[in-house]
Structures are given as C-alpha cells and as structure tokens.
Structure 1
Amino acid sequence: MSIGGAAQADWDIPRPAATCRHLLAAARLHGIDTADCLAGTNLSVADIEDSATEVQAGQELGIVRNILARVDDPHEFACDVGVQYNFANMGILGYALLASPTLGDAVNIACRYAALSSTFHRLTRCDTDDGAVLVFDNSAVPADVREFMLERDMFAVINVAPLLIGQLDSTIALKVELAGIDFPVDRLEFPWLAVEFDLAATRSAISIPANVLTLAMPAADAATALTCAQQCEELFESRRQRRGMAALVRSRLVRDPGQLPAMAEIADELCITERTLHRRLAAERTSYRALVDEVRVTLAVALLESGLTVEETARQLGYSETAAFTRAFSRWTGTPPSRHRRVRA
C-alpha cells in the first residue's frame, strides 16, 4: 500500500507567508538584516507580516538562499527555523491533523496535503509488516537547499511530535534514515523516543511502528476531520491553479487592472527578459495575452455582479470605449456583459 501526495510532485504553488516569517525570525537570531533576507524577492516586510498574504515558492527559496549565503552555522539556523512550527501556525492543515481519528490517519493527511505545509518534500507513506515508513522525497528540491530543507523538516517534526505521541506511557522506538547530508544528530533530543539513526541510508524516511499508528489523536473528531480535509482539498486545488510564473503575472495584473502594463514592463519587474517570460509562460501552457484576458473577464464578471453598469465596468478595466469592452466580453464568455449585470437595489 502506498499513499502519496498530489500526482504533480511540485511544491511550486502559492504558500502562506508564515513560512517566510519563520525564516526572518530565525535570521534575526543570527544577526542577518531583514533587507538582506528579502533582497531580490519583490517582497516587503509588510507582505510577510500580513497573515492573508501568500508568497510564491520561488520567493521563499530566494529568502532561504539569501540567508544561507550569510549565516555562519546553517545547521543551527535550520534548527531555529524548525522549532517555530506548531499546529496553530499550520492553518487548516494543522486542524485536520489534530482532528484525525488516529495517528495513521494524520500521516495520510500529511502525505496528501504536504504542499499546504512548509515542506518542499513529497511525503509518501509505505506500509510494511511492522508499521509504516514515511518517506521524504527531495528529488524535486533544488540541490543547493536540499540539506537545509530536510533539516528544517526534521526539527519541525520533532517540535510537534510531543502532542502526537506524548500520550504514551513508555518509550517507543523509531528509525530515522537520512540520505546524503551531514545531519547534526547531537542537536536532537528525544526524551520520549528511542531513535535509531541511519546516516548512510539511500533515502530519507521515518519508520513508525504499527502500534503507534493506531493511537487516537488527542483531539480526534471524525466529523471535524472530514470537514477540515474537505477544506484542505479546496485550498490545495485553489493554490495549484495559481502556481509558477503565471501566478506572478496574474498577481501583477490584478494590482491595477485599469492600467495593465506591457509584457516587457512585467518582464523587467521580474528581472528577466521578455523572451524568457514568453518561454516560461508557454511552458505553463499559457501566454501573456491569455492571462490578461483571464484577469479582465474575472474582474469584469465580479464588477457586473456587484451592480456596476456595463459602462462603469468598462471604465474600471481601462477601456475608453464601452463598445470595445462589450466586444471583448462577448468574445471571452460568449454572452454580452448585460447578461451578467446585477441590478442595484
């Protein structure tokens, strides 16, 4: 039996700004200036502090690389980041894990919705005669940050583990396999666990005994777990549709839909050439023109349904002539904009 994450293995979807806040908080402990951490990411402190903000994975990677280039002890930094994680700052995924009927069910949720967490790994559960193995697949993680990402995740798991298995009366044995990194095992403390490390393994994984998988979660509630899982699915699908370069361009277009910039201007803002932007959008099976139309039709429908007239909507979207907007809207949707207008009360 194998239960894995989404088929596309990508971590490149919008992510909660909380993950970046953890990075900046740990960087401050190491004397690294926030401005240096954010250099080249197009993110501001206000963006990071806004709980509603989502960042692109590439922006988070930029912060990680900026810090790793300046930090004296990357192992200590990974620990300082990882220990900040708890269920409360994991959003709906944290509630889904806590409400799961058993620890085994929580592992399944973690695998399915790993992309909603801070991890850049694909998590896969493989059942064995003795229990289950939780595999951390880092094959899609950029090589220059793989070691940090694995260490951060391990410290994060350790930080939340007491709530998951603290109900045990006796110490349990876990096996932790770590492949290809010089992991500082001396920095880890497991007062409730007997951990066997395999630093010469060919994979990175945690083996969980069968009797632990059947333990009831502290806040187990089947109905709440189902509701949270459904919300995780909706959030995951929403983020997956707003990934990569297309997501960055959409975000920029929505910022000022009445004065849409030229493709060359956006390319310049992203510090790439117009040709590169065209190629990367094509790789995501879209184009600048398609994104412009997508943003305009989405906003147009919202404005019309809010009660604005066709003329007011056209003006909001930067059209100098209502007729031009009407033709464009009909081309986008197959119906005239008047069909979508909600009459003001």
Structure 2
Amino acid sequence: MGNTQSTRRPVAISKVMINFAKNHGVDTETCLFGTDISEHSLNDGAVLIEREQEMRLIENIMLALPNIPALGFKIGLCYNIATFGIWGFSLRTCRTLRDALNTALRFLPLSTAYCEINAFEEGGYFGLLMNPQSIPSHLREFLLERDMAASIIIIKELSLNEIQTMQTEFTTLDTTNSVYIESVCGVKPLYQSRRNAIRVPIKYIDKPQPTYDANLARLLSDQCARQLRQRQTGGIRDSVRNQILGDLGLMASLDDVASAINLSSRTLRRRLDHENTSFRALVEEERKQMAFQLLVSSD
C-alpha cells in the first residue's frame, strides 16, 4: 500500500482528537503543546500539518489521558466519512463496497492512517491487513487501534450499517480492551494472531451501493489524485524521527540513521540542511520532549 509517512494532513482532522480530549477534561493548550499548531488554525480547512506535528499532538493526548483503556480505538470511532472531505465523499460514489475500499487504499495518505494497509480475501471473508511496524514504537498500539476503529466506522457507514459484525485480529496478548472492542464489532477479538486485521463476510463486498454515481466517482477520483500530489512532501526529518524514536533509539549516531534509511551520511546531512534542521537538533528536540513527558508523568 502507498506510504502515508510523507503526506501532510488537514489540521481540521486532528480536531477530532482534540475534541475527544476536551470531553475528558484536557484543554486545547495541553493538546497543542510543542506542535507548532495554532488554536485558531483548527477551523481552517486549508491548513495542512506535517506528520510529526500530528504525532506530537498524539503524544500529548496519550500523556494527558493515561488511564483510558482502548484510547486509540475510542478516538478512532469518533471519525466518520465526512471527516475526510474529498477522500470520504469519493468512497460514497463507488459502485460496491469492494470498489470503495480499493479506492480508500489507493488514496490512503488522504486519510488518518499510519499503518500500511492491504486488502485480502480468504475463507469467505474480505479483510484489511494492517501493518504498524513503520510507526514509532511508543505510538504503535494507539495508532493501530485508531486505524482499525476508523476503518470499522467507514465500513459500517458504507454498508449503511448492514454490516454489524466484524472480526478483529491482533498479534498482541489479550487485554482488558477486548470487552469494549467486542461491544463495537459484535464478536470477541482474536489475540496472538499472526496478523493485525479486520475481516467482514464477503457476501457484503460486491453488493451495489445506492449512492453509486459513475461520473461523480471519476471526478472525485481525479480530485483525490490531485490533492495527494499537493500534500506529499517527502521530508527526510520524518524518516530520521521514526528511526530515533524506534528501534535505533536516541543514542543512535547520524551514521546509524543514514544506514537504516539507505542514505550516505553526507546525503542525509545535506537533505536535513535543506529542511533547515540538523540531526543534532532533531535528537535534542526529542530528548527534551521525553524529559518533559517523564517530568509530567511523575507528578
């Protein structure tokens, strides 16, 4: 599936998470701390933010709401098709649910997804396979849950709520979240699976959608393609941040990170310079953020 890491996203989509946090007693200032996102921009549909800004926002919300079980799943359920603008509307106009989900995957970077998502069929089921390995480890569980929940909501909406039972699979051990997820999906999640996935009975996949409009579908597909080109950034700082927040850690050297992302040290240094930053500045920024998180969580 297409890479979502280098694509900017409308800040208005992040407002869903902020509203959830506010409903649980967290103020907007806390949510936006260190993100370089201004509060007045949240209602501006034209404002785009970088992936790293959204990740900082997520870190702040996770830090502020540490005791809410299935936090990512609950936030993911707050999204709906209309949240995503052109991308969401394009799904409505597709001929079948299969076509809609394939369109969703084709233009996946226009959604909130961080997982790599691919479709599959087996044993009378159509499924979405979700791979969270490219996500920094401390955000992996939250974003996997959010991606799954948002996908479940979209499938339910597209089927006009005809699909009420969906099987979820997780590679992790059973958690206290299972009862809540079962209440949403209608069936108990499978844990210690070989994959993270959602499965729905295949009988629903090729049923015609009542909102199908061939001309509008083509028009919206063209607009999605145009919007995707406009939003893609290819920023190298995201790649560096993923490495130092992931398996390499903050003690990694520039050479270590360059090797991990298949660049020479010289090229990495030059590309960071083009983005008006440096390896040292990125590492120092993350160290300060982690120190702040430790300070707050120890209160």
Q: TM-score, normalised on structure 2?
A: 0.74
Separation in 2, partners of 1:198, 1:178 = 6
Match of 1:209 in 2: 201
Of 162, 182, 186, the residue aligned with 2:179 is 186
Q: CA deviation at 1:289?
A: 6.3
Match of 1:56 in 2: 50
| Alpha carbons 1:93, 1:117 under 8 Å: kept | yes
After the TM superposition, list the runs of 4 or more consecutive aligned residues in structure 1 that deviate by more than 6 angstroms: none
Q: CA deviation at 1:28?
A: 0.9
Separation in 1, partners of 2:234, 2:122 = 35
Of 215, 224, 228, the residue aligned with 1:223 is 215
Separation in 1, partners of 2:221, 2:193 = 33
| Alpha carbons 1:127, 1:133 under 8 Å: kept | yes
Larger radius of gyration: 1
Q: CA deviation at 1:183?
A: 6.5
Q: 1:280 to 1:94 in 2, by over 3 A?
A: farther
Q: 1:290 to 1:14 in 2, by over 3 A?
A: closer
Match of 1:305 in 2: none
1:33 aligned onto 2:24: no
Which one-letter code corresponds to 1:198 in the other structure? L
Q: CA deviation at 1:100?
A: 0.7
| Alpha carbons 1:13, 1:239 under 8 Å: kept | yes
| Structure with higher RCO (Cα < 8 A, 6+ apart) | 2
Separation in 2, partners of 1:26, 1:282 = 41
Match of 2:227 in 1: 235
Unmatched tracts of structure 1, length 5 or more: 248-275, 292-345
| Alpha carbons 1:15, 1:116 under 8 Å: kept | yes
Which one-letter code corresponds to 1:224 in the other structure? L
| Count of residues in Structure 1 that have an aligned counterpart in Structure 2 | 251
Separation in 1, partners of 2:58, 2:64 = 10
Q: CA deviation at 1:230?
A: 1.6
Separation in 1, partners of 2:267, 2:149 = 38
Aligned counterparts, 1:252-291, within 5 A: 282-283=267-268, 286=271
Q: 1:79 to 1:137 in 2, by over 3 A?
A: closer
Separation in 2, partners of 1:281, 1:21 = 39
Match of 1:135 in 2: 129
Q: CA deviation at 1:103?
A: 0.4
Which one-letter code corresponds to 1:195 in the other structure? V
| CA shift digits 1:146-199 (9 cap, x unpaired) | 11112222332333343222364xx775322112263613224668x6535211
1:177 aligned onto 2:169: yes
Q: Percent identity?
A: 26
RMSD between aligned residues: 3.0
Unmatched tracts of structure 2, length 5 or more: 239-256, 258-263, 277-299
Match of 2:95 in 1: 101
Q: 1:83 to 1:155 in 2, by over 3 A?
A: same
Q: CA deviation at 1:37?
A: 1.5
Separation in 1, partners of 2:165, 2:80 = 23
Of 230, 235, 239, the residue aligned with 1:244 is 235
Q: CA deviation at 1:25?
A: 0.8
Match of 1:300 in 2: none
| CA shift digits 1:72-131 (9 cap, x unpaired) | 324354344223211111111111111110000111011111111011111101233524
1:20 aligned onto 2:17: no
Which one-letter code corresponds to 1:235 in the other structure? Q
| Alpha carbons 1:281, 1:287 under 8 Å: kept | no
| Alpha carbons 2:73, 2:142 under 8 Å: kept | no
Which one-letter code corresponds to 1:187 in the other structure? Y
Separation in 1, partners of 2:11, 2:5 = 15
Q: 1:142 to 1:126 in 2, by over 3 A?
A: same
| Alpha carbons 1:12, 1:58 under 8 Å: kept | no
| Alpha carbons 1:174, 1:195 under 8 Å: kept | yes
| CA shift digits 1:223-247 (9 cap, x unpaired) | 211221121111112222x242589
